[in-house]
Amino acid sequence: MRATACEFLSGGEVVPNPTWAMPSHSHQVHELIVVLSGRMLLETAEQTVQAGPGDLLFYRAGHAHKETSDPQEPVNTLFISFKATQKVVADFALHMRDADTRVRQMVTWLVRDFRAGVPTAQLHALLRALLTEIRRLQASPPDPWLEDLRRHMQQNLARPVYLDDLARRVRMSKFALVRKFKRLSGRTPMHELQLLRLNQARAMMLASGLPVKAIAPAVGLNDEYQLSKLFRRHFGLSPRELRARRTTFETRAPGQI
């Protein structure tokens, strides 16, 4: 990666605040978010992500996104902004997992040094190392064990799926299954299943006119009341509000952060 391929600009922290939210906006530069603790909801025109500790979020320049802290688990994040050629960030995903916390450590150093007044020109080398680490993460193949379980969950959203079922599928104890699944994904298997169901429900709400009472059993939830309760808890709005807002996705003027 050439020295001219990327340039560190700034960094900072979002401290826990149950009411913190950023309306839909985009940047003229790239931004990387490291979730330290708590949870936040990220919404773009293409997908919704529930991010938690150990997650990385990459906002490509010009890509509109909306962020909302979980009021029950207020999010704490570090962020950096930087310039980079499209070739450098071409393979970066919106949502990534920093399993060994190496990216978190490098972002911590960048934010610390920036706050201490270190000239940004001296931080470019660390930024290049950080982006190389992210490229390594992106190049790492997904864990087949984890992906098989996720596929199984996705294919059985409308059916009852219990922890015992998943443990038998992988021939592990429930304790060992939960420990391994959380190490690889950052979530428990049942939390992952719930998020898959809610994301599927969201997709159905946006793509069809089906009533919520029909969508709930299609994604394995008891009824529209359970779906609405979980939907609001995870996404911060009701199914009715989501449908009302689906055609009003707003973007701030370029460069606003």
Q: Judge if 19 and 74 occupy the same domain.
A: yes
Q: What pLDDT does residue 101 have?
A: 78
Positions of the chain with pLDDT lower than 50, given as ranges: 1-3, 247-257
Residue at a domain's end among 139, 166, 190: 139
Q: What pLDDT does residue 52 have?
A: 86
Q: What pLDDT does residue 1 have?
A: 42
The secondary structure of the chain, three-state, reads: CCHHHEEEEEEEEECCCCCCEEEEECCCCEEEEEEEECCEEEECCCCEEEECCCEEEEECCCCCEEEEECCCCCCEEEEEEEEECHHHHCCCCCEEECCCCHHHHHHHHHHHHHHCCCCHHHHHHHHHHHHHHHHHHHHCCCCHHHHHHHHHHHHCCCCCCCHHHHHHHHCCCHHHHHHHHHHHHCCCHHHHHHHHHHHHHHHHHHHCCCCHHHHHHHCCCCCHHHHHHHHHHHHCCCHHHHHHHCCCCCCCCCCCC
Read off the CATH number of the domain in which 198 is found.
1.10.10.60
Residue at a domain's end among 111, 139, 167: 139
Q: Judge if 159 and 239 occupy the same domain.
A: yes
255 within domain boundaries: no
197 within domain boundaries: yes
Task: Summarize pLDDT for 121-144 with one digit per residue, the tens.
Answer: 999 999 999 999 999 888 777 788
Q: Judge if 152 and 62 occupy the same domain.
A: no
Domains held by the chain: number: 2
Contacts of 250 (CB under 8 A, 6+ apart): 23, 24, 64
Q: Where in the sequence is the domain holding 35, given as residue range(s)?
A: 3-139
